[in-house]
Chain A
Amino acid sequence: MGLKESRYNFFFDGEKGAKLAFNSMTGALAQIEPNKWPIIQKLLADPNREPKNQTEKELLESLKYGGFLIDGDFDELAYLKVMNRMARFSKDLLSLTIAPTMKCNFACFYCYEVKSGLTMSKKVQEKIVDFTRKRLPGAKGLGVVWYGGEPLLAFSIIESLSEKLLELCGEGDIKYSAQIITNGYLLNPDKARRLSELGVASAQITLDGPPKIHDKRRVLANGKGTFKKILENIKTASEFMRINLRVNVDKTNMSETVKLLDLLEKEGVRKKVSIYYARTTMHSDVCVDPKDAYMSLEEFNREHICSMRELVKRGFDAWQKPKRKTNVCNADALNAFMILPEGKIHKCLIGTGTLGISCIGSVFDGDFNHNYNRWLSLDVFEEERCVNCKILPLCMGGCPAVSFGKSRETERICEFHDEDTLLEHMRLFVEYRVSLKDKTAKEVRA
């Protein structure tokens, strides 16, 4: 069997007449000199003819290397399907997102959660240990995400559950890893150190802009600002764990994020955090409704590129290469669960309050209800639009909850996975690489 062109090729314009080639299956990105482009076009059109010279021979090999040309009998879609099935239905890893409390010390206007105010009882904690013990055999790893509410309001529960889960993993030679999603307000050095001892390797903390903006959006329940304390905590906590700094953006604060970067640089935090922007949307009916403030996906994509460019320019740890996905998230995976303080088990975090189908049972039940099957039977390969999409390897269908009408938003999830945005990100990578090279060259000269 001869060669054929991959269905996941992108060819687009780079700088100075060069072409860029990207393959979403292999993740390869290559720069093509202007004089080589016509030859490559011919090779792609007829990959099975004998190369006429050394240049053609080398280019042919290079196209094969990057996955731009593949074996004629290689069914890329079938391969993706296998990868997807393996990831979703593997029992290699047990993934638990645990909310020890739904209480929160903040009152962010865009919060989507239903504040039940519940904190986990001892009985539920014991049941979580039982649930974990039952599902761990055969697993190679246990991954835990501490979530809430504000999980640090239930710090003693995190401590005691972590100890028990670590013990379970120790008994079975199972790798344990943990992360925490916290507003950062209570993450003082003692807590950060203790969490690190308990296997928490990273924390996601949110700052929504410079103090003037952040302190209007992410306020304490009594209305007071939180920026100063969070920033201090980030500085000290970063000694113990990786900090992923999330910036929730909408039309009112997107342009102010530059001021946040100024401040982070001034405060010496630039190298201590990884930073990313996320769009606020109407996740549920409990969000206060400043509809005008939310950005459309198109607006966000446009702004996001500009913001990423700024981050890259300033040397923040922000750009990541696109990675092929095997599955989307916990919601579509067999062995991944979210557990609420009362012991309910959910598949979708956002749906905990408003999406009935999200709940698949309770730690007090012996088995899951029928909702579990509905999540697991979702299949991106039954969606014609996804099957024919060149971005499928990077997206795998997007947020599964959208399939169940989770959100008040009517936009289709894949609208933000558009090709233009992807290619703009790849161009940004080329700029990033050039800027890195320049920086290294300057350092060497110095």
Chain B
Amino acid sequence: MANHDKYERDCRDTGGTPEECTVAEPTLADFSVDSTSFREVVSTALELSAVLVALGAFMIAASSIGAEYSSGSIANWLTFIPRRGHVFWSKLLTLIGFAALLGAFAATFVLAAGLVLARLHASPIESLRELAGLGARSILAVVGLAVLGFCIALVTRHTVGALGVLLAYVVVLFLRMGILGEREWIQRMTPWTPEGIWPQSSSTATRTPYPFRR
């Protein structure tokens, strides 16, 4: 603002037209980005929290059974209750209940935080039912990954076994999407891979964008 008149005068002195040299006073809108809708912000937050909480549930589930193997308490369990099916289902169902509670808490927390922020910033609250549905579906994703973590650690008898399978999957994912990403047969696999299915299992999105060369 301090040099505005000087710049305008210099512009005119160097032969500029009034249209070129007259710059309107900036408004607040010139310095701010476009506002993001409540629905967009909360759905992104819910999807991100679902991924993080699901990975956390995977780790907790794997370490719960992995610790029983490493400490030997699973053998102790079976000494008292020598019915393996009962022991398996009791542990798995307890874990499913825990994962469902964890997912429900996370989804509720994120939704509530979004509502509070929207109220504080006087942002219009929209699509609340749709977002609640998204939060409910994210619970399924959390439970699903917890079950997978439990089963992998049970089969490998180690928490690290489940982590190893997860890391191996990430490596395969990078190979598939990076080095081999251009191959048509790889692209055709996308609807049948967990990461291709994940958004449809946890979000309200109706489209999963994935590259497909014509």
Task: Tell me if chain B binds chain A.
Answer: no
Q: Which residues of B contact A (CB under 8 A)?
A: none
Q: Which residues of A contact B (CB under 8 A)?
A: none
